[in-house]
Amino acid sequence: MRWFFLLTLIVAVFGSGLYLVKRSIDARYDQLATLQQDIAREKNKSAILNAEWSYLTRPDRLLQLSDKLLSMRPIDADRILPLEAIPVRSSHKGRHAQ
């Protein structure tokens, strides 16, 4: 009789332990599934937003908008100079001139 009680106790302890482990695995699976769904949803959103950004910043649209809203035009070549062509005061003089 004593052995029977002991065995029952052991089975009960291990059984409960197993059950708890299993429950926690299930819970984590659920969490994983939720996270995966969230990731998928965010990915979808980002795919749509990326596509929309790309659509709104298409160069031909920007060209048209720039034509309409800004009065910019290509710079004449004679107004572009390489950096070396600009005479720079030496830093010593420039900084400490009184």
Partner 1 sequence: MKQFLQWQYWRAYVWPDKPEPAKSRQIARGRLRFLSIPAALCFITIAAQATNLSVFTADERIYGRKTQDAIERGPILDRRGRLIASTVPVMVLHADPEKLLNPTETAAKLNAYLPKKTEEQIYHLLKRKTRYVELDRKITPKRHADILQLGLPGIYITPATTRLYPHGREAAHLVGAVDIDGKGIAGIELSQNAQLAAGQPVHLSIDLGIQAIIRRTVAEQIEKFEAIGGVGLMLDMKTGELLSMVSLPDFDPNHMMASTDDARFHQAAKGVFEMGSIFKILNTAIALETGAVVPEDTIDVRKPMRIGRFTINDYHPLQRDLNISEILVHSSNIGSAQMVERVGPETQKAYMDKLGLLRPTALEIPENALPLLPDRWGRLASITIAYGHGLSVSPVQAAAAISAASGTGDYIAPTLLKREAGHVPERVRIFSADTAKAVRSMMRLVVSHKSGTGNFADAPGYLVGGKTGTAEKIINKGYNKKSNRVSFVGTFPAHDPAYLIFVMVDEPKGQKHSYGYATAGWVAAPAIRKIVEQTAPLLGVTPVMSASPALRQTLLPAVMIDGEEAIHAAF
Residue 34, φ and ψ in degrees, nearest 5: -60, -45
Of 1, 3, 5, 59, the one binding partner 1 by CB under 8 A = 59
91 part of the interface to partner 1, by CB under 8 A: no
CA distance 16 to 8: 12
Q: How far is CA 19 from the centre of its chain?
A: 39
Contact in structure between 73 and 79 (CB atoms under 8 Å): no
13 part of the interface to partner 1, by CB under 8 A: no
47 part of the interface to partner 1, by CB under 8 A: yes
Contact in structure between 46 and 40 (CB atoms under 8 Å): no
Tell me, by CB under 8 A, how many residues bind partner 1.
32
Q: Which residues would be at the binding site for partner 1 (CB under 8 A)?
A: 19, 22, 26, 29-30, 32-33, 36-37, 40, 44, 47-48, 50-55, 57-60, 63, 74-78, 80-82
